[in-house]
Amino acid sequence: MTEHPLIYDLDFETLQNTLIEWGEPAFRARQIWEGLYHSLWNQPEEFTNLPKSLRNRLAETFSFSHLTPVQTLESGDGETSKTLFQLPDSRSIETVLMRYKERRTLCISTQSGCAMGCVFCATGQMGFGRHLSSGEIVEQVVYFARQLKKIDEVVTNVVVMGMGEPFHNYDNTLKAIACLNHSEGFNLGARRFTISTVGLVPMIERFAQENHQINLAISLHAANDELRSSLLPINKKYPISVLMNAVRRYVAQTGRRVTFEWALIRDINDTPEHARELAQLLKGLLCHVNVIPLNPTQKYHGEATTRERAEIFCEILQKAGIPATIRLRRGIDIQAGCGQLATQHAQTSEG
């Protein structure tokens, strides 16, 4: 592991306090902050607005990167790219850039691997490696912002739906978003972030109490406990009734809409009966359902539903007053779709 702390792990106040301890004027913190998040500099020597002595001290004290890009894959349609990064301890993560007509959306990771064990998710099939630090989460966004800047584009949205369960790494995830949201730095609005969780109820309740403006998505995938527990083991700890009570409290507390994610698996959770069961569960709740045909992974043999069945599923929800859309499947040919992120390269090298 690198000996130097990652500079992106520092929030603004910590950076400012560090510089004051060094005998530097407080305004130097703002210059460094703007250099990191506005100018997107990633080498101490780029900070030409600082005295050389301070640039040298920054170089001696901090690492300016924990992410080493190993491989980038582009989808055949050119709309999705996925980068494999190696971390200083040789663990790996993947991050995805999705290009839409007016948006440039990043799907970022919060852990290397995942402890949740959802059966159809490639990351869950890997098992848990470790939490990412807040700075390692931030650096994914800054890295792609730097790439987009070269072609006069910007990151418009961030979905925290990559590798890992964000609410299992709650503090670092929220610290990273606060850093990226900082008005004098990267300045990406809170409502441009979406956090997706499989349903860690205590963290949903904490998230509600903190009254964030960040969007919340719940990976649901089943509307009864027997089926959901077979797909998402976390349901045994936080069954649907407990989860839904927490979600309803969240909506009541914040007034914000919740999105439910539903991977449609042929003959498993894609029938009209499943749709009606879901409509009953969500009745009266301020919500939206994103349905998406299952993305294939090596260790799960379920098949994606057909477009026709997906449309019938959506139509039943809509007729019951539940807003629902079929989400575009993106980057399937490069294993960049929802549930497909896994670091086979890293697994091979680590044995």
Could you tell me if 96 and 172 lie in one domain?
yes
**Residues of the chain under the 50 pLDDT cut:** 1-2, 331, 334-337, 339-341, 345-351
Contact 99, 80 (CB under 8 A): yes
Could you tell me if 109 and 162 lie in one domain?
yes
- Give a yes or no: residue 136 inside a domain: yes
CA–CA gap between residue 344 and residue 117 (Å, rounded): 17
Among 41, 61, 81, the domain-final residue is 61
Among 61, 76, 103, the domain-final residue is 61
- Give a yes or no: residue 80 inside a domain: yes
- Give a yes or no: residue 222 inside a domain: yes
Could you tell me if 203 and 128 lie in one domain?
yes
Q: Tell me the per-residue pLDDT of 225-269, one tens digit each, with 9 for 90 and over.
A: 999 999 999 999 999 999 999 999 999 999 999 999 999 999 999
- List active site positions: 94, 338
Could you tell me if 56 and 81 lie in one domain?
no
Could you tell me if 48 and 144 lie in one domain?
no
Locate 324 and state its tokens.
């629902």
Could you tell me if 74 and 138 lie in one domain?
yes
- Give a yes or no: residue 2 inside a domain: no
Could you tell me if 48 and 153 lie in one domain?
no
Could you tell me if 46 and 176 lie in one domain?
no
> What is the model's pTM?
0.91
- Domain of residue 200 covers 68-350
Q: Which helix (H) or strand (E) holds 14?
A: helix 12-21
Could you tell me if 51 and 96 lie in one domain?
no
* pLDDT score at 301: 81
- Give a yes or no: residue 18 inside a domain: yes
CA–CA gap between residue 314 and residue 309 (Å, rounded): 9
Could you tell me if 44 and 99 lie in one domain?
no
Could you tell me if 157 and 255 lie in one domain?
yes
Tell me the CATH number at 115: 3.20.20.70
Could you tell me if 16 and 150 lie in one domain?
no
- Give a yes or no: residue 1 inside a domain: no
* pLDDT score at 121: 82
Among 37, 61, 85, the domain-final residue is 61
128-131 and 111-113 strand pairing: antiparallel
Tell me the CATH number at 21: 1.10.150.530
Total tally of structural domains belonging to the chain: 2
CA–CA gap between residue 167 and residue 165 (Å, rounded): 6
* pLDDT score at 26: 92
* pLDDT score at 1: 44
Lookup result for tokens 């792609």: 144
- Give a yes or no: residue 141 inside a domain: yes
Contact 272, 313 (CB under 8 A): yes
